[in-house]
Structure formats: structure tokens, C-alpha cells
Structure 1
């Protein structure tokens, strides 16, 4: 251990560190003690001085003695004055700063100096008993000061030090020899013992005070906590939605509160001894499982933890959350419950709404795909070991797009709502109807004996949905096509049942619509073709059969080809060119869309890296890609690998990408946005909740569907929709792109309406990048600009897109 002067001094004095927050108050206590003991010290000092003066006045009178007598008289007068001042100032101890101790230290030093004169004068002239009297009284003054002033060491040290110094000088004045040296050694040891004792008393004094202060603080905290707890318990039930309750060993309420009586509309007298379970509505089907949990806990006298139960009131049903701990006596016997009941009606209803939005279609309120899949899985589990069957019916509204086009999307939405209501009325109580998107519904029909039961339900559906739907004075009418698969006749897995029902639905549509088809093996012809295509598709990527074409997107005001949309193409060695409308759905159904989609992203960004830095690229995303959590990582990696500025990249998604798993899709979109890319809503206006999507998703651009552009010049309704979409996007700070432009008049009209960007065959068909460069539609990066300018100069007649844009601008 490292020793220094401070360490040695601390060991000798036994000093204790005083927390800063207590220092002022301890000084106040020291000063208060010092003032309280001052009269007694004055008496002792005066008495001892008088003894010596009287004794030596008769034994050895001298001028020095009379001088010292005068000094001691002055000190006594000063002491009397200080004592009177202290007696008049009888106050409780209060915090004092360090400077307040200077007067006491000075007074102590003065008195010690006065007493130091005594041994200096008397020791050299005293021998025998006279010397003993001087040493006894001087030593007694040192001991008394060390004891009486131990609570104020800073005042005691000056007194002790000066008096001991005076004694040492007196000894040295009597001569220099072995007796004097021995006397000085004894005096030094005596001084150290006195100082150590003084600081030991002081340390104990401080520790005692700090302990008392700590105990007082703890007592104060305990009192405050007790007050707070009492206040909370008193105000808890009044200020909160929670209610405290107790039950006895027979699960009957005891000591019910007034608040509990008020909230249950039952008097305290009637509540007393009422069984706990009697409060809750056992007939409420939503609370059936939770009621069972309550009974299970009561049967074993176990803990009741966050059980949500319905409470029936006169005009409504409330929901209470119950929690309680069982109580036991010293002998381990169950004595009852102590718990809390919280009114969570608002929270319960809000959670119910959130759950409904996540799992039920916002338009029709029927379950979404995930709910139906769970129901099918449950049905499969329940039929294990039995001969039970169930059917899956895929229902598609024939020519629903025509209803939207003729009557508008408001009528189309209302028509879908009515279809869902009629389906709910037709199916059995244990059956489930779900909306899979657009105009397709899927029904789980339980407990069928065979295909006849499924055909009977299909016939009832056709009859019910054939009736016209009247909406605001408008009658909309259509037929339905239905495909049926049966468990376990056709498949044992839910995904296969859905697939076969969908194949049967396709066969129904191929048969002329308004028909019902049950899945049969001969329907596998088309399925076989799709399987063959799927097989070829699995080899297409490795065989370099897939490629990307790029269609220009023109900035309406400047006429600049500022962006290009990447479009996938498949050229099969034997089939030739296969349209994306054929193979993209197969990619999605076969689960290959993520792999191919990732390739599209990487390839498109690789190509964009070679373009002029002011040229943007637009990439389409499949609904399945948007719901894939790895999409954000894929895009981030591709951006880092190619070095393309994220601001140049835009991803297009359709409303169907957000139809299911809304929360997951929203999370993915936010993740993409955080990378710095833009997000565009494609085919705007063709879905069922486009406006709501603009509110909850971070879109940067809206693409107006080609169906509106085609009839914009002949239909006032379509023109109004286009105009409204452009205005809506402008007010929301979004850009707009009109797609499917094929004539100059369309381009000119859209430019006048304020559309941001234009796209269509009029400006250029999707082509390979090299062809776009040759036609002057695409500019490569500066490193290759010279070579491309030479190519453009050698083919002056190949700039149709640019020429057409000049005429528009």
C-alpha cells in the first residue's frame, strides 16, 4: 500500500470522510455543541488558572506571573462575553458554512496561547511538588480540551498544540539533559494519544450522526411510501379503471368495496359472499375459452393471470381483465384470493379491431387467406382417423371488371360486399367464406358426404348470386364460375386442395363461365402444360433464357427520357417468346418468383450502373416479393455491389401486393424507403382500396392504369378520374405516370392535365438496352458516351421515340 503524509495522518487521526450533502449540517451540530460546552470550559479554565495564580503568588511571586494573571483575566472576560452571547442565541442546530468556524478556532487558539505562557514561565522555576502542580494542571487542560472539543477538532487542535508547545518550551528552559529528553518523549506520546482519542471521539460522533440521519431518511422514505400507498389505495379505484377485490376459500367475495358495487350495479350487501364466477357472462361465445381458464384456476386454487372475461351490463357488454394471487395461512391452508379487476373494454375492442383488420378483408369483412388456411388445416386435423370429408369451393365473379368499368368502382365495391353477404347467408354455420383478392372468394364446406353436397352448395351460390344487386338505383348483375376440390378424394394437403379448386375454376371459366366444375384428373392437361412450363422456367435462368427489356418513361415538361422500366422477357429455345402474362403467374405459383425477382433486381441495377447518372430505373415487384423479409437485404446488397445511387431506383408494386399480410408488406416498404429508393403504386384505380393505401403506405409516385388512358378521350368519367388522380397526387406531393399512351393526342392531353411522366408505345416499346442506345432513347455513362455518339451518328434515321416526343413538347 502506498504511504504518504495524508495516509499517515489519516491513520493517526482516524478521520472520516463526510458526504458533501451532510457537511454543512454537521458543522452546525459542531458549533451548537461547542457553544453548549463553552460555559463549562470557561469555568474549568478559570478555576485552574486561579489555582495556579494563588499558589504561585505565595510560593514564587514574579512580574511574569502578574502579566499572565492579567492575560487570563482578559481571556475569562472574553469567555464570559461569548457564553452570554451563546446563552442568548439558543437555537436548534442549523447548517453552517466552513467560514462560520473561524471565530471558534481563533478563540481556541488565543486561549491555548494564553495557557502556553503558564508552563513557559513556571516550569523553569518549579521543582518537586510545584512542578507537579504545573504539569498536572497543564496536562489536565490538554485532556479536557481534547475531550470537550472532540466534536470540533479544528478548534481543539490549536489549543492542544499551543499548550503542548508551551510545555515543551518550559521543559527545555529548565535545562538540557536526560530528564528533559525523557519528559519530551513522554509529552509527545501523550500528545499523540490525546489527538488520536480526540479524533476517535469525533469519528464516532460523526458516524453516529450519519447513522441517525440515514435512519431518519429511511424512516422519512418509509413514511412517504406509506402515505403514497395509502393514497394510491384510497384513490386507486376512484381514479382508475381497476378494482380491488378479495375472495374467501370458497371463492366468494368478501369485504366488497363501494367502487366495485358501483361498477357492477350490485349493492355491497348483495356482492358479499357472491361467487366470483357469477359476475361474468358464461353465455358469451367470445369469452368461452377465458371462462374455462377461470374455472381451471379456481378448481386448483391456482393463480389467476390476465384472464379477460365478459361482464353483461344492461345495455352493453364490458370486458374485465382479472388477476389474483392465492393466499395461504401459516399452516399452508388455502384462505382465498386477493386480486384486481380492470375494465379493459376500450382496449379489448381496439385490439379486436386491429385483429379484424389484420385477418379480415377490409371491404367485405370476410376472413383473409391466412384465416382460411388455418381453418382448412384444422379441418384436416379433425378428420384424421375418421371418414369425414370437406370441400373447397373457389368462386370467381364472371366479368367483374365490366361492372367496375361500366358502373364505377364504388358500385363494384358495393357489389362485392353484397356477394360476401349472400355467401355468408348460404353456407352452413361451421363453414368459412374467405376473399382471396379481387373478385375471388374461397369457401370451406365442412362435413360433406361427397361431391353431391358440394354441387348442391355450388348450385345455391349460383342461384343466389345470379340475382341482381341494386345499388343506389343501379342494378348490377353477373354470374359466377365455381371450382371444387374434395378432401381426401383429391388431395390431403390444404395447399393442394386450394390448387385443385383453382384448376377446377379455370376449367369452369374455359367451359364458358357460369358453370361449376369438380376437379378431375383430365383437367391436368392444362396443369401438365403449366408443369412443363414450370420445369422449363426452372432451367431458364441457368440457361440465360431470361432477359430484361426496358421501356422509356418520358418527363412530360422537359421531354427528356428520364427513366426506364425493366420488363422481364423469356425466349425459349423451342417455344419461342413466351409472354410474361403466361409465365409470371407460374413463377408465383411455383415459388420461384423470389429467385427470379432477385435476379431481375441485380440485373436491372447492373445495367443501370452503365447509364448516365441522371437516368432512373423502375423495377416491378411481385406481391410475393413484397411479403418476403429478405427483399430489403437483397436490394441493399445489389445497390452496394453495383454502386447505383438509390435515388435513381424506383420499385413498382400493385395493390394486390398489399392485399394480404398488410403489416409485413408495410414493414418491407419502410425498409426499402430507408435505403433511399422510391416506391410507386402501379395500376392505380383498378383495386378496391387505393385511396386508403395512399394514406398508410409511403408511396412516391402513382401510375395511372392504361384502362383509363385508353378511354380518356371518349369517356368523361375516365377523364375525370385521370384528372382527379393527378390532382390527388399533386396535393400529396407525389409524381404521376400515365401508362399505355399510344397517340400524340393522349400525350398532349396528359401533359396539359399536369401529369408528371408519360409511358407507352407512342414513345417506345420495351427493347434491349443496345437498341435503345441506337435509337437515341438511352444514354450510357460518360465513359462510353463517345462510342455511343458515333453509333448514333451512323444511324441518323433511328430516333423515332425522340422525334415523337419533340412533336408533343
Structure 2
């Protein structure tokens, strides 16, 4: 008798049409129990669906009461209740009728339920929602969205009915939102509907997979049961039996075929000899065979024992299980068990194991295998009292290749990089790819520090040579961070972190070099972590405040405005320099909320000054790359009552380095508000005269480094200031010299043509009270004159 499992659900792919109930596939799969499981699952939440519809109908009536007649709402609600109740009763009845099996028609009939329910629920948005205002339409959308979500949960077991319901109702809501809120809101509703439909389909598929798994498991149990009763002949599994002396008895044809012997000849042979094959005489047994021998000797049952077996010169893998047998008097009479040839599964498992530990793009070990190799290297180093090392490698300028030539070229470049790295490795090193453009090297024996450093420099030199790909000559470099264990970390995780910190130091140095871990790096990283945690709460805890530095006319010395400067006083750490926390805020993506607080606070304060002087606020590039920043500026001006012409935003040249982010458009919209713009630190960064011509700056600020250089008589600094002043005059812009600290520097920048000056000579950054007093005193003096 041949026993072949009929279930095909172990396959990873399911026929979608069969899942939806569109047709009955012509294969060995029995879909009747699966359809029954779908209907039963739908019936389990039938009452929940009824409740959701009734509650949703009442909420819709409350929302539409101002725009719809009461009789119409009552009639519609009655229809909803009737349709929902009818569906509920049908679901409960179907659950009783189809407890074990169900037909294709049973599943198809549920589509009508979905259509009916969607039709009645489409009435409010199409009949009343289109003619209502935005508030009512959005309220109706929220209620219908909740109903759709509840229905997706309750009806997901019947995916076709649910998908029809969600598609019709979602389309109706999208039509309503199109007329009320426009295409964007309609697209949002369609996206929401699509996500619900995908989630519903995946949940319905999961139900089928679970039920299919249960059926497959049941069939397998039945198959094993039949095997144990010796009703097998040619199946993939086979029985084996031994006597008390561990010799084979009653060998089945399938077992004899599996070991490559005649069924008659195999009877009476020692079971272990049959499994050992050619190694029996030499006694060179595998560890698994020795385990089996111990189990047989101790008369102990076992299962899932994996054995390598040589059959006809080829290695096979068997999985066997057995229990000892005893007669009615309790005397041991041998073993009876079942076995399977799992060679293909073993090969597949090995392949999967390799895929799990090797990078598919480069063929190098991946992060998992690298971590395992590092952990083993640290164990060996601790065992022998030696040292190991870990290198992290990050490619320089690789992102530019991806951005300009595409990921396909980038992937091929990574392959070439991997080849070069592989050629540098010996038996003492393991090279792997961590992901992206990051690689790592595990050095098992790192006792020779000079050799480790030489390898790091060799890697940098090798990767810096040009690459020829598709008529492109590409140049990338590498930065390397090195950590030595156990000195720089007692665990693999600690050593990886130390190497990562060293890599950051290498990148900060400009790349193309290597750095070894130093304890100070951890101190710096910990300080950065503590500062970042504190910075996230600084605004909320009122630890931030502003100082205001006067800006005066170079000719008359009259006050023209203040620059708002951010200060942070931590209750424990004290005053923290902006040089530390401003870059940290930019890296941690905290600069936008902090910058908004600075803008609003400065506007509120300037609005209190009697003098109509300006207040200048520094703006981060991250803020300008967000189109919503225009609304933030408009809101700050409106809430404070500050006239737009009294606000000046200072931006640096780096804002223009990221093309395509819309920063220039944001600046133009800010200028349209009446706000003035100033280009800060001109000449120290990525200067481009094109930006000056395309953006309407009101002034250019000359960096203090040029002022100090000019005061020392440096010809280049003097020439730069003159050039900037001439450029600004030709473009109708003012020039502000920063960092003026002496009378001589004041006269110098005045002679060079600067229109405004700023620095300690005219005033340090002042607390808000002192700045307010100076502003008001300046206004009183002007009024008296």
C-alpha cells in the first residue's frame, strides 16, 4: 500500500484565486475543510460585526443630523441594521452548516453580503457627505474608517467579500473627500483603503496557511501511524526492526532499497553494520552512529537522530526514531522504528545556513558570521592569553557613486572592493560585509600591533586605487577603525563599539586614514550621549535662554539691531558652549524644534522693544529644507505682533549645497513675507556668487577670521574684505563685520567700507533685560533728538 500525503500546503505559495473562492484548483489539495474554516472564522465575529454596524450607524446619524432629514437617517439606519442582522444570521447559520466542509458556492455567496453592506454604507458619503462642509465630511470619514477597520478584522476570514466591501465603501468615501477636501484627501482615503485591503488579504491568507498546516500535520500523523502499523511499501519513509541482539528482522523492501541491499540478504545483519557501511571494518564511525549505538545498548528510545550513511558510494542523511519493544512478560525483544532519507532537506538546510551567514552581493561573510568569528576569536584569545583585533572599514565617497551612477554600478563597485579585500586576507583574518558600504575584519591573532596597523594602511591603499567600471573611472577611499581585544572590550559587542568609535574619529579626520581606539573616545561618546539626552529636555525644562549682541552702524555707532544668540545652562553640567551643543542638535535632528523656539522667543522679545531695531536669528539648513518653515515664521510674526521688516534671518552658505531640497524656494517665500535675509560667515564655506544673484539678501556678514587677519595686516584678508564690500555695494547689500573688538579694528573696517559692525568693542551678548534696556534707551534718545 502506498501512502502519499495529499496536502500541498507545505508549499510557500498559495493559489490566490482558490484563496478568494473564485475557483476550485484541479490538484490533490482538498479545499473543502479550508473553506469551512473560512466560514467558521467569519461566523465567530458575526455579532461583533453586527454591533460595529449598529454603533457606526448611530454615530453617522449624529454627525449628519445637521444636514440630513431625520426620516432619511432613520430609514437608512433601519436598512443598515436589517442588512447587518441578515448577514449575521447567515454567518451563524453557515457556521453550523459548514462545520467540517464547505462548497465553493458557500464562499462565493458571501460576496453578495459584502456588496449589500457596502451599498448601504455608501449612501451617507455619496448622498449627504458631498453636500456637507469639511467638518461633517471629516467626521463621517472617521466613522466610516473605523467601521472599515472593524469589518476588515471581522470579515478578513472571507477575503473576497471583505475586499469587495472595502473597495466599494473606500471608493465612495474617496469620492466624497474629492469634492469636499480635494485630490489630496481623496488620495489619502484611497491609500488607507488599499492598506486595509492588503492587511485583510494577508490575514485571510494567514488563516488558510494555519488551517492548511493543521491538515498537513494531521495527515503526517496519520502517515506515521500507518507506517508504524507496517502498511508501507514504496513511500519515502520506511520501517526498521531489530531483535534483542540488534540484528535486522522483517526488513521492508523500502528499507532494503534505501541501504542498497537485497531484502533477503539484509535480514539477520547487525543494524549498526548496515548503517556504518564501508567504515564498519575500520571502526571509523561517525559521532551520530556512536550515539545510536549507546541508545541501542541502553535500550533507550530516541527520535530525530540524524545519521550520515554511505549508500552506493554516495553520502546520504537519514533521520531515524525508535522505541524499545517488550513482550507480555516484560522481556526486551528489540527495537522498532521509522526512518526517512532527508538528504535533500539537509542540502537545503546547508544552503539556507550559508545564505544566513554570507552576503548575497559580495559572497563575503555577513554581520552574523562576522560576530560569530569575533566571539570565537575572543574566546581563543582569552584561552591562550593573546590578543585579537576588530577592524571596521567604511568607504569614502561611495554615496556619490550611488547618487550619480545608480545602485547597479554601486553594487558592482562593492563587488570589486570585496575582491580587493579578499586578496589581502590570510588564514589569520576573516573579512566580511556588515551592510551598505561597511566592511569588517576579524584578526584572530593580533599580538603584533605593527602588523595590524600595516594591514589597516594596506587596506586603505588598496581600496584607494581607481576602479574601471563601464567606461567609468571611479575613485573611492576608505576609513578604518581598529580595536584590540580584550584591552578595548571584554565582549564582542564592546569591541565592535570601540572599533566603531575609532572609525568615527577616522571619518572626522577627513577619511583616508585609520585610527585605533583610545579610552578618550569612549569618554567623548558618553559625554555626547549624556548631552544629547539632556538636550532633548532642555527646552521643555526651560534651560535654554537667549542673549542679544548689539549690531551698530559703522559710521555713527548707532544701534541698528541685535543678534539673538542661543545659550544653554544645565542645572548640573552648568553652561554648555554652543560650539558643543549646536552640532549635536543638528546630528540628533533636534535643531528644528530648538530653532523654532529661538525664533518665537526672539520675535516675542523684539516686539516689546520701544525702538524699531531689528532682531537677527540664525537659521539652520535643516529648517530651510522643510517647506513648513515658512508657516513657522509667519506664525511667529503673527503671534508676537512683530513687523516682518524687523526680523532678519541669518543663513550660511551650506544651505545651498543640497540641491533639489527647495531651500531657495523657502527663502523666496520668506522674503515675500517682508522678512530680511542675511548671508552669514560669507567666504568661509561653499561660496557661490550665483546664490547672491538668485536670492535677495539684504546684507552679507564678514566672518571674524577675516577681520582679525586684516587687523594683523594680512594682505589676503584685507583684499577679501574689500572684495566682499565691493560686491555687496554693487548688489545693493549692506555688509556687517563680525568680531570687532578694538577701536583700531573699528576704524579699519569702517575705512574698508563696512556699513555695520558687531563685536565685543560695541557690546558682548547681553541678557534679555539689559538688551531690552539698551533698545528702549536708544529709542528714547532718538525721540528726544
| TM-score class normalised by the smaller sequence | 0.3 to 0.5
TM-score, structure 2 length as denominator?
Answer: 0.39
TM-score (structure 1 length as normaliser): 0.38
